[in-house]
């Protein structure tokens, strides 16, 4: 049984994928584990490379969550990676990635930060 079988139509499948449905994310996680093993890299290096690829692709928050969600990269490591790739991908992509990482729940947000409305 594949992760897509419970969804009757392509529209249902897309909604589930966009919503980060657990069974679909589990399938992606299995693919990631296999890719990590095949890469021969240690987990942290592998995840930092994936982070850089997501930033370069201007990925959506759900992609950050799907590819890095349970990884446990520290905010310091994420920041270091963003600083390292900024000259290559540009500040706009790095700022976009930082906000998307926060939306994905992968970096802490400052509760005292001034919002646009306040």
Question: What is the tens place of the pLDDT at every residue in 89-105?
Answer: 999 999 999 999 999 88
Which DSSP letter does residue 114 get?
P
Tokens of 4: 């897509």
CB of 94 closer than 8 Å to CB of 85: yes
Band of pLDDT at residue 8, cut at 50, 70 and 90: confident
Residue 82's Cβ-side half-sphere holds a number of Cα atoms within 13 Å equal to 21
Would you state the pLDDT for residue 117? 43
pTM equals 0.71
Average per-residue pLDDT in the chain?
Answer: 82
CA atoms of 78 and 83, how far apart (whole Å): 9
Would you state the pLDDT for residue 14? 75
């Amino acid at each position: 049984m594949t992760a897509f079988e419970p969804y009757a139509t392509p529209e249902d499948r897309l909604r589930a994928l966009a919503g980060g449905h657990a069974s679909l994310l589990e399938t992606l996680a299995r693919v990631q584990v296999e890719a990590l093993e095949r890469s021969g890299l240690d987990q942290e290096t592998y995840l930092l490379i994936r982070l850089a690829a997501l930033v370069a692709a201007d990925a959506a928050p759900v992609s950050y969550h799907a590819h890095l969600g349970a990884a446990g990269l520290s905010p310091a490591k994420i920041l270091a990676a963003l600083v390292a790739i900024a000259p290559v991908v540009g500040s706009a992509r790095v700022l976009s990635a930082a906000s998307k990482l926060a939306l994905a729940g992968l970096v802490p947000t400052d509760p005292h930060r001034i919002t646009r409305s306040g």
